Amino acid sequence: MRILNFGKIIVAIGILAQVITTPVHAQSDWKKQWDGTVEAAKKEGEVVIYGPHNPVYQQVWSLFHKSYPEIKFSFVPGKGSDHAQRIVAERRAGKYLADLIMGGSSTYATFAPGTLEPLKPLLILPDVVDAANWFDGKFHFADPENHAGLIISGEIGTRRGSYNTKLVNPKEIQSWWDLLQPRWKGKLASFDPRVAGGGGETFMFFYYTPSLGQKFITRLLSDLQQGTDWLATGKIHFYIGSGQPIMKANKQGLPVDLLPHPMKEGDIMGGGSCCLAVVNKSPHPNATKLFVNWVLSREGQIAWQKYTEVNSLRVDIPKTDLPPDDVPQKGVNYFMLNSAKHNGQKGRKALHQIVEDALKKAGKGR
């Protein structure tokens, strides 16, 4: 009996030792990999980024540079479509110059499969790898292969719609279906939903939301006017589309504002320069890996959110630097506008056909 008990004690000690040492080994593994990446990155000494014209990036990069002064940034500004064409042209000439490409979600749809590097294998820091630290408990991607163009931020509230503050009580609008009541007939407006950047993104939300869908779109288009200046003059009362012009008009003192609450059917998250991706055959792979891990870290995302003034998809960082309306709320279903699932050509073509048919039926076709 004593021998048996002694044997059990030995087994228990062995199991306990395994439990204790496993996290230590895991910690030493990532730490060893991280230290090696940092040293190799310092030798490479550069990260080349193709991205949009946005001066706030410089503020984020300056914080990175304070921690890693040996690494400089070479930044090539421009539109996402121009960058995509530039990279294709460079590679045809046998040149591999870019490490990272940053920009809007549509940027990543134009690259040939394999041009963008799968991102998850490049992640090292435990707080970055932990999906629980990210919105909805997972990573969201904008590229068609759903593994390279990581979405790191998403605007909230700019596509709920906007209204004339003298003529509309926003509390009376809790569902998109409320706008189909007779009182709104002839008082609604939107940009052409077939045009990206106008009302198209909001109509993509309508299309993919089961409680709205084709039936809602068809009925809505029969009542829609086209034009934005009418909102401030009172010719229309509610406007559907991107809220950026409305926010500008509001600051100028005009009687317009964004709807202050999400609709019953959910809210749209997305837009802007939301994403980043690593280009394959990167000329500075270690410096690129270092920067990606840093900018996705808690420190990096606090800086990103502060300077871009857009909600970061990291949920473990403070949101006090954002207006309350710009922070995701519990219990709200968010439509990830920038995801590949909702940003593909198949869905857009289907939506455009619905719009064409509805406008033709309403006698508004062109």
| Domain membership flag for residue 16 | no
Q: Per-residue confidence at 151, pLDDT binned at 50, 70, 90?
A: very high
Asked if residue 216 belongs to a domain, the reply is yes
Asked whether the predicted pLDDT for residue 148 surpasses 70, the reply is yes
Lowest mean pLDDT among 18-27, 39-48, 213-222, 337-346: 18-27
> Rounded CA gap, 256 and 259, in Å?
10
| Same-domain check for residues 80 and 33 | yes
Helix (H) or strand (E) holding 273: none
> Is residue 256 pLDDT above 50, yes or no?
yes
pLDDT tens column, 266-296: 999 988 788 999 999 999 999 999 999 999 9
26 vs 49, residue with greater confidence:
49
Give yes or no for residue 358 having a pLDDT over 70: yes
237-263 burial code (b ≥16 CB/10 A, e <16) = bbbbbbbebbbebbeeebbbbbbebbb
Report which of 104, 100, 314, 65 is spatially closest to residue 201, judged by C-alpha positions. 104
Report DSSP state, residue 314: B
In a domain, 2, yes or no: no
At 232 the pLDDT is 77
* 45 lies in the same domain as 192: no
pLDDT value, residue 159:
85
Task: Please indicate, yes or no, if residue 22 is contained in any of the structural domains.
Answer: no
Does 12 score more than 80 pLDDT? no
The answer to whether 347 and 220 have CB atoms below 8 angstroms apart is no
| Distance from chain centroid for Cα 335 | 11
pLDDT at residue 49, as a whole number: 95
pLDDT beyond 70 at 9: no
pLDDT at 1 over 90: no
How confident is the model at residue 248, as a pLDDT?
A: 83
pLDDT > 90: percent of the chain = 58
Q: How confident is the model at residue 333 (pLDDT cuts 50, 70, 90)?
A: very high
Q: Counting beta carbons within 10 angstroms of the beta carbon of residue 27, is it exposed (0 to 12), middle (13 to 18) or buried (19 or more)? A: exposed
Residue 247: give its domain's CATH number.
Answer: 3.40.190.10
Pick the more confident residue, 324 or 169.
169
Q: Compute the average pLDDT of residues 346-353.
A: 90
- Give the domain range for residue 223: 162-269+344-361
In this structure, the answer to whether residues 300 and 321 fall within a common structural domain is yes
Q: Which of 293, 50, 276 is nearest to 149 (CA)?
A: 276
Task: Answer whether 111's CB lies under 8 Å from 98's CB.
Answer: no
Q: Is the pLDDT of residue 139 over 60?
A: yes
Residues 314, 140 contacting (CB under 8 angstroms): no
CA 303-305-309 angle, to 5 degrees, is 125
Mean pLDDT computed over 83-89: 91
Q: Do 281 and 264 lie in a common domain?
A: no
Res. 22 pLDDT band, cuts 50 70 90: very low
Shared domain check, 261 and 275: no
Shared-domain flag, residues 45 and 112: yes
| Pair 233, 353 in one domain | yes
Q: How far is CA 174 from the centre of its chain?
A: 25
Q: Which amino acid is at 6?
A: F
Domain membership flag for residue 19: no
pLDDT band at 360 (very low <50, low <70, confident <90, very high): confident
The reply to whether 216 and 141 lie within a common domain is: no
Same domain for 325 and 237, yes or no, is no
State residue 24's pLDDT score: 52
Over residues 94-138, the pLDDT tens digits come to: 999 999 999 888 888 888 888 999 999 999 999 999 999 999 999
Residue 102 counted as domain residue: yes
Asked if the model's pLDDT at residue 225 lies above 80, the reply is no
Report how many domains make up the chain. Answer: 2
Residue 35 domain-assigned? yes
More confident residue, 110 or 175: 175
- My answer on whether 254 and 355 are in the same domain is yes
> What percent of the chain is predicted at pLDDT more than 70?
89
Residues 284 and 246 in one domain: no
Predicted model pTM: 0.84
State the average pLDDT over residues 299-321.
95
**Do residue 251 and residue 127 come from a single domain?**
no
For residue 226, what pLDDT is reported?
A: 59
Would you say residue 41 lies in a domain?
Answer: yes
Cα(167)–Cα(187) distance, integer angstroms? 11
